[in-house]
Amino acid sequence: MNHAKTAATSVPLHPLLAERWSPRSFDRQYPLTERELLPLLEAARWSPSANNSQPWRFALTLRGSAEFDAIVETLAAGNRAWADAASALVVVAAETAGPDGSPRPWATYDTGQAAAHLSVQAEYEGLAVHQMGGFDRDALADLLDAPAAVTPLVVLAIGRRATADGLAEPFLSRELAARTRRPVEELLLGVDARAEESAA
Ligand SMILES: Cc1cc2nc3c(=O)[nH]c(=O)nc-3n(C[C@H](O)[C@H](O)[C@H](O)COP(=O)(O)O)c2cc1C
Protein backbone atom coordinates (compact mmCIF):
# COMPACT_ATOMS: atom_id res chain seq x y z
CA MET A 1 0.00 0.00 0.00
CA ASN A 2 1.08 3.63 -0.56
CA HIS A 3 2.78 5.03 2.47
CA ALA A 4 3.09 8.55 3.81
CA LYS A 5 6.46 10.09 4.53
CA THR A 6 5.16 13.25 6.11
CA ALA A 7 7.87 15.64 7.29
CA ALA A 8 8.43 15.77 11.06
CA THR A 9 8.35 19.53 11.63
CA SER A 10 8.92 21.71 14.71
CA VAL A 11 5.73 23.63 13.90
CA PRO A 12 2.83 22.62 11.63
CA LEU A 13 3.28 23.13 7.88
CA HIS A 14 0.75 23.25 5.10
CA PRO A 15 -0.01 19.60 4.24
CA LEU A 16 1.00 20.15 0.60
CA LEU A 17 4.52 20.92 1.81
CA ALA A 18 4.69 18.44 4.68
CA GLU A 19 3.39 15.52 2.63
CA ARG A 20 5.47 16.07 -0.52
CA TRP A 21 8.26 13.58 -1.01
CA SER A 22 10.17 12.10 -3.94
CA PRO A 23 9.03 8.54 -4.69
CA ARG A 24 10.80 5.94 -6.82
CA SER A 25 7.70 3.82 -7.13
CA PHE A 26 5.21 5.11 -9.70
CA ASP A 27 1.99 3.53 -10.97
CA ARG A 28 3.06 2.26 -14.40
CA GLN A 29 -0.59 2.05 -15.51
CA TYR A 30 -1.54 5.62 -14.64
CA PRO A 31 -1.83 7.77 -17.79
CA LEU A 32 -1.24 11.52 -17.86
CA THR A 33 -2.05 13.91 -20.69
CA GLU A 34 -0.34 17.19 -21.55
CA ARG A 35 -3.60 18.88 -20.48
CA GLU A 36 -3.19 17.40 -17.00
CA LEU A 37 0.32 18.81 -16.81
CA LEU A 38 -0.98 22.32 -17.50
CA PRO A 39 -1.67 23.28 -13.84
CA LEU A 40 1.91 22.26 -13.02
CA LEU A 41 3.26 24.47 -15.79
CA GLU A 42 1.01 27.35 -14.72
CA ALA A 43 2.42 27.09 -11.20
CA ALA A 44 5.94 27.28 -12.62
CA ARG A 45 4.96 30.11 -14.93
CA TRP A 46 3.74 32.28 -12.06
CA SER A 47 6.79 31.87 -9.85
CA PRO A 48 8.96 34.94 -9.26
CA SER A 49 12.21 35.54 -11.14
CA ALA A 50 14.95 38.17 -11.33
CA ASN A 51 13.62 41.09 -13.41
CA ASN A 52 10.71 38.83 -14.30
CA SER A 53 13.07 37.21 -16.82
CA GLN A 54 11.23 33.83 -16.57
CA PRO A 55 14.24 31.80 -17.70
CA TRP A 56 12.63 28.36 -17.14
CA ARG A 57 12.00 26.11 -20.13
CA PHE A 58 10.34 22.68 -20.16
CA ALA A 59 10.22 19.69 -22.50
CA LEU A 60 7.22 17.43 -21.88
CA THR A 61 7.19 13.73 -22.68
CA LEU A 62 4.53 11.15 -21.87
CA ARG A 63 5.10 7.44 -21.16
CA GLY A 64 4.49 5.40 -24.28
CA SER A 65 6.09 7.94 -26.63
CA ALA A 66 9.43 7.60 -28.40
CA GLU A 67 10.49 10.94 -26.85
CA PHE A 68 9.87 9.58 -23.33
CA ASP A 69 11.95 6.48 -24.10
CA ALA A 70 14.73 8.67 -25.47
CA ILE A 71 14.81 10.69 -22.22
CA VAL A 72 14.91 7.45 -20.19
CA GLU A 73 18.03 6.44 -22.13
CA THR A 74 19.84 9.61 -21.01
CA LEU A 75 19.18 8.94 -17.29
CA ALA A 76 21.87 7.63 -14.95
CA ALA A 77 21.43 3.89 -14.34
CA GLY A 78 20.25 4.48 -10.76
CA ASN A 79 17.40 6.63 -12.09
CA ARG A 80 16.61 4.61 -15.23
CA ALA A 81 15.90 1.63 -12.96
CA TRP A 82 12.63 3.16 -11.72
CA ALA A 83 11.85 6.39 -13.60
CA ASP A 84 10.49 4.62 -16.69
CA ALA A 85 7.30 3.85 -14.70
CA ALA A 86 6.48 7.55 -14.33
CA SER A 87 3.57 8.88 -16.38
CA ALA A 88 5.62 11.83 -17.65
CA LEU A 89 9.25 12.87 -17.81
CA VAL A 90 9.71 16.61 -17.97
CA VAL A 91 13.07 18.22 -18.72
CA VAL A 92 13.61 21.46 -16.82
CA ALA A 93 16.13 23.80 -18.42
CA ALA A 94 17.31 27.34 -17.76
CA GLU A 95 17.94 30.00 -20.37
CA THR A 96 21.10 31.43 -18.86
CA ALA A 97 21.47 34.42 -21.24
CA GLY A 98 18.96 36.97 -22.49
CA PRO A 99 18.09 37.59 -26.16
CA ASP A 100 20.99 40.08 -26.46
CA GLY A 101 23.45 37.56 -24.99
CA SER A 102 23.63 39.26 -21.58
CA PRO A 103 24.15 36.73 -18.77
CA ARG A 104 21.31 35.94 -16.37
CA PRO A 105 23.07 35.30 -13.06
CA TRP A 106 19.88 34.09 -11.35
CA ALA A 107 18.62 31.84 -14.15
CA THR A 108 19.30 28.57 -12.32
CA TYR A 109 18.00 29.96 -9.02
CA ASP A 110 14.80 31.12 -10.73
CA THR A 111 14.35 27.82 -12.55
CA GLY A 112 14.77 25.83 -9.34
CA GLN A 113 12.14 27.98 -7.75
CA ALA A 114 9.79 27.34 -10.67
CA ALA A 115 10.37 23.59 -10.23
CA ALA A 116 9.52 23.93 -6.53
CA HIS A 117 6.22 25.66 -7.36
CA LEU A 118 5.49 22.98 -9.95
CA SER A 119 6.13 20.24 -7.35
CA VAL A 120 3.74 21.75 -4.81
CA GLN A 121 1.01 22.16 -7.44
CA ALA A 122 1.59 18.53 -8.45
CA GLU A 123 0.99 17.47 -4.85
CA TYR A 124 -2.28 19.41 -4.93
CA GLU A 125 -3.25 17.56 -8.13
CA GLY A 126 -2.61 14.19 -6.44
CA LEU A 127 0.63 13.69 -8.36
CA ALA A 128 4.17 13.14 -7.15
CA VAL A 129 7.38 14.58 -8.60
CA HIS A 130 10.88 13.16 -8.30
CA GLN A 131 13.59 15.53 -9.56
CA MET A 132 16.67 13.94 -11.10
CA GLY A 133 20.01 15.59 -11.69
CA GLY A 134 21.52 12.26 -12.72
CA PHE A 135 21.48 12.24 -16.53
CA ASP A 136 23.87 12.53 -19.46
CA ARG A 137 23.98 16.27 -20.08
CA ASP A 138 25.34 16.15 -23.61
CA ALA A 139 22.92 13.43 -24.71
CA LEU A 140 19.94 15.30 -23.27
CA ALA A 141 21.05 18.62 -24.78
CA ASP A 142 21.27 16.86 -28.18
CA LEU A 143 17.75 15.52 -27.80
CA LEU A 144 16.39 18.95 -26.93
CA ASP A 145 18.08 20.60 -29.89
CA ALA A 146 17.84 23.81 -27.86
CA PRO A 147 19.95 26.99 -28.19
CA ALA A 148 23.37 26.88 -26.47
CA ALA A 149 22.19 29.19 -23.66
CA VAL A 150 19.45 26.72 -22.66
CA THR A 151 20.96 24.35 -20.08
CA PRO A 152 19.08 21.25 -18.88
CA LEU A 153 19.12 21.18 -15.07
CA VAL A 154 16.89 18.31 -14.00
CA VAL A 155 14.47 15.74 -15.36
CA LEU A 156 11.22 15.44 -13.41
CA ALA A 157 9.56 12.04 -13.05
CA ILE A 158 5.85 12.77 -12.55
CA GLY A 159 3.04 10.34 -11.80
CA ARG A 160 0.97 8.61 -9.17
CA ARG A 161 2.77 7.06 -6.23
CA ALA A 162 2.52 3.25 -6.12
CA THR A 163 3.27 0.66 -3.48
CA ALA A 164 6.95 0.09 -2.84
CA ASP A 165 6.76 -3.72 -3.30
CA GLY A 166 7.59 -3.56 -7.03
CA LEU A 167 10.99 -2.00 -6.36
CA ALA A 168 14.26 -3.94 -6.21
CA GLU A 169 17.06 -3.12 -3.79
CA PRO A 170 18.60 -0.65 -3.12
CA PHE A 171 15.57 1.37 -4.24
CA LEU A 172 13.11 -0.46 -1.98
CA SER A 173 15.06 0.44 1.17
CA ARG A 174 15.39 4.06 0.02
CA GLU A 175 11.67 4.23 -0.65
CA LEU A 176 10.85 2.99 2.85
CA ALA A 177 13.52 5.00 4.69
CA ALA A 178 12.46 7.91 6.89
CA ARG A 179 13.04 11.38 5.45
CA THR A 180 15.57 13.43 7.38
CA ARG A 181 16.60 17.08 7.50
CA ARG A 182 19.05 19.27 9.41
CA PRO A 183 17.43 21.15 12.29
CA VAL A 184 16.46 24.77 11.57
CA GLU A 185 19.22 26.03 13.92
CA GLU A 186 21.85 24.57 11.59
CA LEU A 187 20.52 26.63 8.69
CA LEU A 188 20.99 29.98 10.40
CA LEU A 189 24.01 32.15 9.68
CA GLY A 190 25.16 34.83 12.06
CA VAL A 191 25.31 38.49 11.02
CA ASP A 192 28.25 40.59 12.21
CA ALA A 193 26.93 43.53 14.26
CA ARG A 194 29.82 45.68 12.98
CA ALA A 195 28.19 45.75 9.54
CA GLU A 196 25.17 47.39 11.16
CA GLU A 197 27.39 49.95 12.92
CA SER A 198 29.20 50.91 9.71
CA ALA A 199 25.88 51.33 7.89
CA ALA A 200 24.56 53.64 10.63
C1 LIG B 1 18.55 19.18 -8.12
C2 LIG B 1 18.11 17.82 -7.62
C3 LIG B 1 18.69 16.68 -8.17
C4 LIG B 1 18.28 15.41 -7.74
N5 LIG B 1 18.79 14.32 -8.36
C6 LIG B 1 18.32 13.08 -8.03
C7 LIG B 1 18.71 11.94 -8.77
O8 LIG B 1 19.45 12.01 -9.77
N9 LIG B 1 18.23 10.73 -8.37
C10 LIG B 1 17.38 10.61 -7.30
O11 LIG B 1 16.96 9.48 -7.00
N12 LIG B 1 16.96 11.69 -6.61
C13 LIG B 1 17.40 12.92 -6.95
N14 LIG B 1 16.93 14.03 -6.28
C15 LIG B 1 15.96 13.87 -5.19
C16 LIG B 1 16.61 14.13 -3.83
O17 LIG B 1 17.48 13.06 -3.52
C18 LIG B 1 15.48 14.30 -2.78
O19 LIG B 1 14.73 15.44 -3.08
C20 LIG B 1 16.07 14.43 -1.37
O21 LIG B 1 16.70 13.24 -0.98
C22 LIG B 1 15.00 14.75 -0.35
O23 LIG B 1 13.98 13.81 -0.39
P24 LIG B 1 12.44 14.24 -0.52
O25 LIG B 1 12.30 15.00 -1.83
O26 LIG B 1 11.68 12.94 -0.56
O27 LIG B 1 12.11 15.10 0.63
C28 LIG B 1 17.33 15.29 -6.70
C29 LIG B 1 16.75 16.45 -6.16
C30 LIG B 1 17.12 17.69 -6.61
C31 LIG B 1 16.44 18.93 -6.03
Give the Å distance between the CA of 179 and the centre of ligand 1: 11
The answer as to whether 115 is a domain residue is yes
Would you list the DSSP string of 8-60? --SS---HHHHT----S-B-TT----HHHHHHHHHHHHTS--GGG---EEEEE
Residue of 5, 9, 22 with the most ligand 1 atoms within 8 Å of its CB, for mutation? 22
One-letter identity of residue 196: E
The answer as to whether 111 is a domain residue is yes
Say how far apart CA 67 and CA 61 lie, in whole Å: 6
Give the Å distance between the CA of 15 and the centre of ligand 1: 20
The tally of CA atoms less than 13 A away on the side-chain side of residue 181 is 12
The CATH number linked to 47 is 3.40.109.10
pLDDT, one tens digit per residue, over 90-111 is 999 999 999 999 999 999 999 9
The tally of CA atoms less than 13 A away on the side-chain side of residue 130 is 21
This prediction has a pTM of: 0.95
Could you give the number of structural domains in the chain?
1
Tens digits of pLDDT across the chain (200 residues):
467 899 999 999 999 999 999 999 999 999 999 999 999 999 999 999 999 999 999 999 999 999 999 999 999 999 999 999 999 999 999 999 999 999 999 999 999 999 999 999 999 999 999 999 999 999 999 999 889 999 999 999 999 999 999 899 999 999 999 999 999 999 999 998 886 666 65
The answer as to whether 123 is a domain residue is yes
Domain containing residue 104: 15-199
